[in-house]
Amino acid sequence: MRGARRRLCSALIVAYGLFSLYAAYTVFLRPRRPAAPRSHRDRHGPRGFTDHVALGNEEWNPWDADEKNELAASQQRYEANLKKIKYARSHLEQTSLRVQIWGKAAIGLYLWQHIFGGHLEPTDVIAQWREGSQNAGKTYFSFLTGPSVVPGYFSVEAEHVVLVLNGREPTKIAYATQWLHYAQTLMETRKIQHVAVVLLGNEQCNNAWIQPYLKRNGGFVSLLFVTYDYAFVNEEDIFQWPLGVATRRMRTGLLHQIMHNKLFSSQKIRLLSSLRSKIFL
């Protein structure tokens, strides 16, 4: 009995030793076979994704479509901005003069809306600040008006200025002189080059207070348009402005009767020709 057990244990020990030797041979001594290359589908996923694989050695980029779309959108924005720049440049090249009108009398609205045919934004007539712009030939006009337009608190965007003032009574004259002094300061600091004045004059034709500001008298105002009669009108640098009481006619409805006649176009032509020939050229 004991002999049988010994033989069994010896057989197990021998089998274990043989198995250990085979395992060591397999792991350390047996030559390995080269790994088979993976198929195209194994490397890049299922068959459904093969349409997105780049050709050649390029790798598939899942964001490639988004990048192309963004690049195309950037190119379109660049071209649109380039067109705007070219249009603005051509517009500036076509415009030889830039004139800014400061409307500080009611006649300024008549000048801008009915003679120039311009529009104002906002359209609310009681707005604190209103402005507009338009081209007249090669001259670009901008217009500012409203209680909030005060000296030193708006942008001076032109070297040539038309100042519309009220000189009917002493209090209006005092306010008008403040604007004249402001314009004179801009002239002295070379921020503007020329000043013309459209003046709502005194009904008794007492407008002598404006004389010291005229260039012919040592001042800086190159051109003066004045309503009502004025003894110093010479049709050279001092002109009588027709329809000077247009704001009154507006209230009574009489202005509507003359809006379609030739007076508007003749006044506009007269003003533009005077500005260009007497001041800005």
In tens, the pLDDT along 61-96 reads 666 777 778 888 888 888 887 777 766 565 555 556
Average pLDDT of the residues in 264-268: 52
pLDDT reading at 145 higher than 90: yes
> Across the chain, what does the average pLDDT equal?
75
The average pLDDT across 220-227 equals 90
Query: What is the pLDDT, as a whole number, of residue 276?
Result: 55
Contact 278, 197 (CB under 8 A): no
Beta carbons of 141 and 124 less than 8 angstroms apart? no
Residues 6+ apart with CB under 8 A from 268: 115, 116, 136
For residues 82 and 261, give the distance between their C-alpha atoms in angstroms, rounded to a whole number. Answer: 44
Of all residues in the chain, the percent with pLDDT exceeding 70 is 65
pLDDT digits (tens, 9 = 90+) for 254-265: 333 333 333 445
In terms of Cα–Cα distance, which of 230, 101, 248, 114 is closest to 167?
Answer: 230
Question: What does the pLDDT read at residue 256?
Answer: 38
The band of 250, judged by pLDDT with boundaries at 50, 70 and 90, is very low
pLDDT at 110 over 50: yes
Question: What is the structure's pLDDT at 9?
Answer: 72
CA atoms of 218 and 212, how far apart (whole Å): 7
Least confident of 14-23, 123-132, 140-149: 14-23
Distance CA(267)–CA(113), nearest Å, equals 13
Q: Which two tokens stand for residue 115?
A: 């003679």
